[in-house]
């Protein structure tokens, strides 16, 4: 598909480019391909970098408010000039807080069609403690209207699709994908000291709390590192803990040192909407994964074929011990996982589907 010369796409998104995993692995990695196809791309985050970095820290209320006001002004200017774009792509929401005013203006006043994309159960409340006082401003109820007014909706899994189809018939499932050719294209070293690893933001770190007593128990019998890659340091009393601050430049190298990837989740409605991204990242690098059998994980992982399911404390402990003790099992599961991602969850597998959104 080649774009008509001069055709343009505006990506209306919450966060700055190259920062948020939901953006990077749902659509940002397809932007170079769109540009090669002849599209002119405008990237329009609601939050600038300064406001984005301060918003999830405690305090600085005045700076947060000022930054958000500036964000609203920038978004208003953009929406008032929306007619100049041939295609509009909205990820999650046009404004970080408040009702769907901008989506309404785009769809109902300017009669502009847009693609609406989301990858979590964002109609359910989920917020960090640092912003607990402001979470009501998120207006979670607006998601159904963003879906209803959209020309096409794209979601990360079948659970999200079921919700979206309540309000719109044109729903496409496009998984959160991995660039196995240009980015996740290396392999973990199975012969090094065992590193049990987790990666994610502070908003999902609460799921790790379940694993901490198990890790502490295993420390008495095994020599390993427990690596946590995140934007905030966890407060865990573990001698094996090694915190690695997430860095875009070293992300793959930091992940690549993990021998066993873990993705614990609680069996709750919000977790049902998760797109299994941690699991996919581990598997793409040949890292054997232990995951909770929740949501899309049950579709990605086949038990003892390309990963391991664990639910109870005993199951998690047994799975960790099994992989710590058996390098051959780590190699077998890691190799199978890598192939699963390449064939079913890669950018290569879904490029055509994504580009077709802009026909």
- What is the model's pLDDT at position 230? 92
CB atoms within 10 A of CB 249: 7
Higher pLDDT, 134 or 320: 320
How far apart (Å, rounded) are the C-alpha atoms in residues 68 and 74? 10
Of 57-66, 178-187, 281-290, give the lowest mean pLDDT range.
57-66
Bridge-based pairing of strands 195-199 and 225-230 is parallel
CB atoms within 10 A of CB 132: 9
State phi, psi for 191 to the nearest 5 degrees. Answer: -90, -10
- C-alpha gyration radius of the chain: 21
Whether 260 and 226 have beta carbons less than 8 Å apart is answered as: no
Does pLDDT of 274 surpass 90?
no
Q: Model confidence over 16-31: pLDDT tens digits?
A: 998 888 898 899 999 9
Q: Model confidence over 104-131: pLDDT tens digits?
A: 999 999 999 999 999 988 888 765 554 5
Q: Model confidence over 227-265: pLDDT tens digits?
A: 999 988 999 999 999 999 988 889 989 999 999 999 999
- Global pTM? 0.84
Higher pLDDT, 243 or 269: 243
- Give per-residue burial for 214-240: e unless 16+ CB within 10 Å, then b: bbbebeeeeebbbbbbbebebebeeeb
User: C-alpha distances in angstroms, 150 versus 69, 115, 357?
Assistant: 26, 6, 12
Higher pLDDT, 65 or 162: 162
Q: Model confidence over 139-152: pLDDT tens digits?
A: 889 999 999 999 99
How far apart (Å, rounded) are the C-alpha atoms in residues 64 and 78? 21
Does pLDDT of 83 surpass 80?
yes
Query: 133 falls in which pLDDT band (50, 70, 90)?
Result: low
* CATH number of the 8-174 domain: 3.40.50.2000
Cα–Cα–Cα angle for 128, 132, 135, rounded to 5 degrees: 95
How far apart (Å, rounded) are the C-alpha atoms in residues 353 and 359? 11
Does pLDDT of 63 surpass 80?
no
* CATH number of the 195-344 domain: 3.40.50.2000
When pLDDT is averaged across residues 41-70 and rounded to a whole number, the result is 80
Q: How far apart are the first and last CA of the chain?
A: 8
Kindly report, as residue ranges, where domains of CATH 3.40.50.2000 are found in the chain. 8-174, 195-344
User: C-alpha distances in angstroms, 175 versus 27, 219, 247, 282, 283?
Assistant: 11, 36, 24, 16, 15
- What is the model's pLDDT at position 51? 77
């Amino acid at each position: 598909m080649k774009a008509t010369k001069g055709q343009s796409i505006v990506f209306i998104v919450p966060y700055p480019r190259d920062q948020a995993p939901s953006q990077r692995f749902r659509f940002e990695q397809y932007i170079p391909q769109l540009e090669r196809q002849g599209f002119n791309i405008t990237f329009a985050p609601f939050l600038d970098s300064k406001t984005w970095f301060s918003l999830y820290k405690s305090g600085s209320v005045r700076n947060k408010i000022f930054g958000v006001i500036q964000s609203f002004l920038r978004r208003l200017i953009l929406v008032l000039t929306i007619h100049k774009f041939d295609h509009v792509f909205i990820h999650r929401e046009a404004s970080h807080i408040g009702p769907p005013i901008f989506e309404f203006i785009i769809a109902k006043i300017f009669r502009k069609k847009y693609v609406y994309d989301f990858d979590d159960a964002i109609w359910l409340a989920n917020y960090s403690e640092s912003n607990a006082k402001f979470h009501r401003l998120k207006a979670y109820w607006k998601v159904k209207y963003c879906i209803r007014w959209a020309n096409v909706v794209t979601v990360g899994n079948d659970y999200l699709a079921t919700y979206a189809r309540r309000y719109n018939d044109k729903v496409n499932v496009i998984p959160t994908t991995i660039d196995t050719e240009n980015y996740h294209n290396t392999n973990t070293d199975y012969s090094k000291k065992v590193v049990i690893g987790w990666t994610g933001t502070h908003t999902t770190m609460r799921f790790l709390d379940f694993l901490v007593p198990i890790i502490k128990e295993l420390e008495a019998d095994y020599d390993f590192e427990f690596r946590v890659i995140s934007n905030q340091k966890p407060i865990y009393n573990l001698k094996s803990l090694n915190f690695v601050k997430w860095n875009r430049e070293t992300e793959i190298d930091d992940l690549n040192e993990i021998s066993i990837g873990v993705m614990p989740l609680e069996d709750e409605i919000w977790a049902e909407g998760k797109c299994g991204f941690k699991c996919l990242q581990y598997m793409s690098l040949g890292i054997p994964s232990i995951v909770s059998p929740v949501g899309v994980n049950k579709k990605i992982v086949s038990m003892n074929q390309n990963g391991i399911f664990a639910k109870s404390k005993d199951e998690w402990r047994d799975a960790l011990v099994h992989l710590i003790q058996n390098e051959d099992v780590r190699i077998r599961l890691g190799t199978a996982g890598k192939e699963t991602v390449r064939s079913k969850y890669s950018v290569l597998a879904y490029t055509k589907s994504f580009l077709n959104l802009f026909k």
